[in-house]
Structure 1
Amino acid sequence: MKILLVEDSATLRHVMCSYISAAGHEPVVAESGEGALQILEKNPVDMVIMDVEMPGLNGFETTQLIREWLGDHWIPIIFVTGRSEDSSLEAGIAAGGDDYLIKPISQIILNAKIRAMARITEMRKELSDLNDELTILSQRDGLTQLYNRRTFEEKAHEIWKLSQRNKEPFTIILLDIDFFKLYNDHYGHLAGDDCIREVAQTLLKCLSRAGDIVARYGGEEFVAILPNTPERGAIHICEVIRSAIERLGVKHRASLVNAVVTVSIGASVVNFTAGTDLEFQIDQADQALYKAKHNGRNRCCVKEYNPKSKILVIDDCEDAIASLNEKLRQHCSIISSCEPDECIALAEEFRPDMILLNMHLKGLNGQAFCARLQSNTVTAKIPLIIISSIETSELKALTEQVHATSCLQKPIDSEQLLAKVSQYIHPH
């Protein structure tokens, strides 16, 4: 093991280094608490033996800093002290120490404590490995080793949030083995399990990007998330999956559509995730799957979700954006940003039907930004609604001053907001 010895006494350092080396370990030496912290930043060690009484940072203070810096990573720390009072021992344990050596140091006792700490380290590692295995097992479907439904839902929400933040397209795929109940009845449940495993492995081979998530959704149904995948990519990959499973050639004499196992696939694609939610998109994919089955099975149906109207919200308050999203989700899609340059770029790319601007955005000159919007050939034509918490009369005057279309006073009233949407957003 590599053992960090923190000791300000040159004599004791020399003696203890010889003991550590004689026991077959590698000593790494620091003369102070500050020096120990510098070493740990660059060189991981397996154990620390720490003098308590040192100039500068004492052993307790250094240990507290080490524990904070290491976080969940644990290494044993043994204190070395000339004090044997109960209060001193208690303070050391409270500071994060694991054991004590009382001066003068006995080589036999030092070796015994190192061995004991090494055993504890090994036991903790074994326990950590077992916990990791249990975590993996709890996340996986026992038959296919794909993610189970619970884990899928957790990871899907994470990817959804990332897609929202990055303003990327998002695809969700639902896949169902055609006439699987008839397959089970004809070939038996063991053959049915083999069939499910083969389909699962084929899915994994087809969806091999690092960000793709594949899970068993239940029974003979599978689900996949494809981040940053637009409609064209979704159509392509769905057909790749469908044809790959058909080419497996798993016989299915009970099927009403083919002599081999086939699948029906439904997918939902959303080009920007604001204005909708994950559950709605799963429902859209389910509807697409139903359509694929209704149209004869062994086929794909991709449904693209694009709200008719889009609103660009320029605000840095996540709660405010979430509130607007909740109020408007049934009517239009929300695109949000707090960066002026990005706002202009988003407006040029998505051509929103309305812009809502927080006039008091931190670091933004509201009047200057209004002028910038109105000088841009794209955004000048878009209705601009400014938002502020100032008095009504002042807000109306400001609206005229910056040549905005209209205004809303904070806190925003839902009825007034919807009235503005109805007034200024015209159906396509």
Structure 2
Amino acid sequence: MARENVQPTVLVVDDEATNIEVLAKLLQPDHRVLFTTDPSKAMNLAEMKGPDLILLDVIMPNMDGYEVCRRLKSRASTRDIPVIFVTAMGEEQFEAIGFEAGGVDYITKPVKPFLLRARVKTHIDLKRQSDLLRRLASLDGLTGIPNRRSLDEFLRQEWHRGLRHESRLSAMLIDVDFFKKFNDVQGHQAGDVCLRQIAEALSRTLERKTDLVARYGGEEFACILPETPLQGAVHTAEKIKQAVASLAIPHPQSDVADIVTLSMGVISVTPKRGHEPEEILAAADQFLYMAKLSGRNQIQSGLHAWEAETAANA
């Protein structure tokens, strides 16, 4: 949430370098200004840098600003970046096209400095408020890590990416052993502290930014590990199990240890057409059930059923 205190970034897209220079002088030093004179590069630059706002010219060679805006709005990674058209085309019909393409505002040239700064500030403030609300809605209120809704969205995204690239996708479900006994004896407040400590340990252990840990529900957590084979996922699970054991949270009521422990189910699969992303969590849940059935405080893992069958017949 520290982004609210970071200097706003504005991407200027205009084929005339002099226009970029004018806009940059008006926005600096209160804004970090990025720019490109090539409209075809605007999408990738926006995706890589994640600006708070884009100032976009309309008349440019090869691709006009309207088409650039449409393409930005078609990508999940850039659709929420506000776009202000800055152009000499001030007629109402052109403004209408700009708003239909996804722009949030329309400023005509020559630019009035006060008007530009005011509108840029307004739309950046609105975007940051919207970003904050989205982040709050995606986090679990108790632990501060992503919630089940975020998990489902991330899993669908990575499933479809796995389909496109034929890459491995691993997942794990994690259950705190005998947590009901912990709550019953030590109280729900202590239980909440315990869950927060576990969530922090899980977050620290997942070193890659591409991985996700989320609260699955109650005392269960889930991890999604893109481009990770089964061996790598199991290795990560072992690190998580050890990290939580290192917390040494007392649990005298446990039937398997005197500290809080985890049971874990790990699954790895190459996404396959005709199947749904939810299947990977259902399969992980089966391995978690096996871990509980086998005495808890352990990891059970394997391939998805369709891959296990293929491997057996090979």
TM-score normalised to structure 1 length? 0.52
Structure 1 residues 227 and 74: alpha-carbon distance in aligned structure 2, compared to 1, 3 A threshold: closer
Q: 1:258 is matched with which residue?
A: 257
Q: 1:139 is matched with which residue?
A: 138
The answer to whether the 8 A contact 1:171-1:227 is kept is yes
1:77 alignment partner AA:
V
Q: 1:301 is matched with which residue?
A: 300
Does residue 75 (structure 1) correspond to residue 84 (structure 2)? The answer is yes
Deviations 1:184-218 (A, max 9, x none): 22222222111111111111222222322211100
1:200-219 to 2 correspondence within 5 Å? 200-219=199-218
The answer to whether the 8 A contact 1:170-1:271 is kept is yes
Structure 1 residues 250 and 65: alpha-carbon distance in aligned structure 2, compared to 1, 3 A threshold: same
How far off is 1:132 after superposition?
1.1
Alignment partners' CA distance in 1, 2:141 and 2:285: 24
Structure 1 residues 99 and 194: alpha-carbon distance in aligned structure 2, compared to 1, 3 A threshold: same
Q: 1:174 is matched with which residue?
A: 173
Q: 1:234 is matched with which residue?
A: 233
The answer to whether the 8 A contact 1:139-1:151 is kept is yes
Provide the identity percentage: 31
Alignment partners' CA distance in 1, 2:207 and 2:279: 26
The answer to whether the 8 A contact 2:15-2:37 is kept is no
Q: 1:269 is matched with which residue?
A: 268
The answer to whether the 8 A contact 1:76-1:117 is kept is no
Structure 1 residues 114 and 287: alpha-carbon distance in aligned structure 2, compared to 1, 3 A threshold: same
Structure 1 residues 91 and 193: alpha-carbon distance in aligned structure 2, compared to 1, 3 A threshold: same
Structure 1 residues 215 and 308: alpha-carbon distance in aligned structure 2, compared to 1, 3 A threshold: closer
Describe the SS at the equivalent of 2:83: coil
Q: Give the number of equivalent residue pairs.
A: 266
1:238 alignment partner AA:
A
How far off is 1:99 after superposition?
5.6
Deviations 1:402-426 (A, max 9, x none): xxxxxxxxxxxxxxxxxxxxxxxxx
2:176 alignment partner AA:
I
| Structure 1, unpaired ranges of 5+ | 8-12, 14-19, 27-36, 51-59, 81-87, 102-109, 310-331, 334-349, 354-426
How far off is 1:160 after superposition?
1.9
Describe the SS at the equivalent of 1:268: strand
- Larger relative contact order (Cα-Cα within 8 Å, sequence gap ≥ 6): 2
Alignment partners' CA distance in 2, 1:303 and 1:268: 5
Deviations 1:322-353 (A, max 9, x none): xxxxxxxxxx76xxxxxxxxxxxxxxxx8xx9
Alignment partners' CA distance in 2, 1:46 and 1:274: 37
| Structure 2, unpaired ranges of 5+ | 1-9, 28-35, 46-52, 73-80, 99-104
Alignment partners' CA distance in 2, 1:5 and 1:248: 54
Describe the SS at the equivalent of 1:168: coil
1:12-411 to 2 correspondence within 5 Å? 25=26, 38=37, 65-70=64-69, 71=72, 73-75=82-84, 77=86, 79=88, 89-91=91-93, 93-94=95-96, 96=98, 98=106, 113-270=112-269, 273=272, 277-305=276-304, 307=306
The answer to whether the 8 A contact 2:172-2:223 is kept is yes
Describe the SS at the equivalent of 2:123: helix
2:92 alignment partner AA:
E
How far off is 1:4 after superposition?
10
The answer to whether the 8 A contact 1:140-1:148 is kept is yes
Aligned-residue Cα RMSD (Å) equals 4.1
Alignment partners' CA distance in 1, 2:93 and 2:254: 73
Structure 1 residues 182 and 124: alpha-carbon distance in aligned structure 2, compared to 1, 3 A threshold: same
How far off is 1:78 after superposition?
6.5
How far off is 1:267 after superposition?
1.4
TM-score normalised to structure 2 length? 0.68
The answer to whether the 8 A contact 2:82-2:127 is kept is no
Alignment partners' CA distance in 1, 2:12 and 2:267: 56
Describe the SS at the equivalent of 2:64: helix
How far off is 1:126 after superposition?
0.2
Which of the pair has more CA radius of gyration?
Answer: 1
